Amino acid sequence: MKKLRSALKTKFRNSIKIVGLGKYLPEKVLTNFDLEKMVDTSDEWITTRTGIKERRIAEGESASDLGTKASLIALKRAGLKPQDIELIIVATVTPDYQFPSTACCIQKNLGAKKAVSLDIGGACAGYVYALSLAWALVGGGFYKNALLVGSEVLSTITDWSDRSTCILFGDGAGASVVVPAKSEAGMLSSYLGGDGNFGDFLILPAGGSRLPASKDTVKNRLHYIKMQGNEVFKIAVRVMVECAQKALKKCGLRSEDADLLIPHQANLRIIRAVAKRLNLEDKVFVNIHKYGNMSSASSAVGLCEAYEEGRIKKGDIVVLDAFGGGLVWGACVIKWI
């Protein structure tokens, strides 16, 4: 029994490292000036309150289409073929179908025949949840590698007549390939949390078993995102700060040790408030002005874009920090290899 416990302890101690990153953004750009023609709003009002200038909108593309394109880039950069992938985890709240999973759709598109495929619904924290799950499964020795995808087509669940929400969301996908890391680097820690008592603050009311599609749900526009913005704002700042601090503490670090903070891109005021409380105002990555809130895709695209822009270098401590519907939240600390 002692030998078994020792073997299990050894098997589960590996970290993981990211060896390939990719992103895909639809071609169509919807600017604030375009929205001025659709609802009672203005570029100045949107920019002042959210920091968003434009967002991407998918036309004739599903979550699996976006995710497949991002995945092909990540796989190429990782030097792997689709047939090499053993696990696909897709974070999305806008799946192609209720079933089959969007992960299975991407598996089919890629030809990744031997990959175990599953979706997770962590909303805006979905990519952080996927990365944490991959750490357990790949670092734990169950699979040799994993393809992680955050892909959203939020334009399909956005009420374009609601000026309080339609200004916020956009479409996009990011992908990462992870493999075991036996050095003292790679994924250092993860902290996840949630509280379903606040679920009504950010919700898609209809379309599930609670409120199946009906004439009433369509008439009352319940198949679109509903959000209590002020309540979400207050909770988001507090828990994102706590998430980052607790994730850093778990690996013996403090916020000043971080080289880059990549927060979920929901609102520039939230991003600035979180960065200020963590004393990381000069080390925060922001791309919300270009893409808006892409839910689970925001962290995945942000990580890819930060790396492409040279913001992440070998040995850097990178903190991913996210918050979303559920309500759920999470943070990961990575020492870049």
Selected catalytic residue, list 104, 124, 166, 243: 124
Q: Annotated catalytic, 293?
A: yes
* Bond into 26 cis (ω within 30): no
124 belongs to the catalytic site: yes
Q: Which listed residue (105, 145, 293, 304) is catalytic? A: 293
Say if residues 262 and 321 touch (Cβ distance below 8 Å).
Answer: yes
Please report, for residues 4, 23, 59, 64, 93, the alpha-carbon distance to residue 97 in angstroms, rounded to integers and kept in the order given.
Answer: 42, 22, 17, 10, 10
Has 230 been annotated as catalytic?
A: no
Per-residue tokens: 63: 């979550």
Residues paired with 27 in a beta bridge: none
The pair phi, psi for residue 210, each rounded to 5°, is -70, -45
How far is it, in rounded angstroms, from Cα 312 to Cα 310? 5
Please tell me the number of Cα atoms within 13 Å of 18 on its side-chain side.
Answer: 28
| Surface-to-core class of residue 215, CB atoms within 10 Å of its CB (0-12 exposed, 13-18 middle, 19+ buried) | exposed
Q: What type of residue is 34?
A: D
The b/e string for 293-314 (b: 16+ C-beta within 10 A; e otherwise) is bbbbbbbbbbbbbbbeeebbee
- Type of residue numbered 33: F
Please pick, among 14, 32, 104, 264, the residue that the annotation labels catalytic.
Answer: 264
* Contact residues for 77 (Cβ-Cβ < 8 A; gap 6+): 19, 20, 21, 22, 177
Q: Compute the distance between CA of residue 157 and CA of residue 234 in angstroms, rounded to an integer.
A: 24
Which amino acids are annotated catalytic?
A: 124, 264, 293
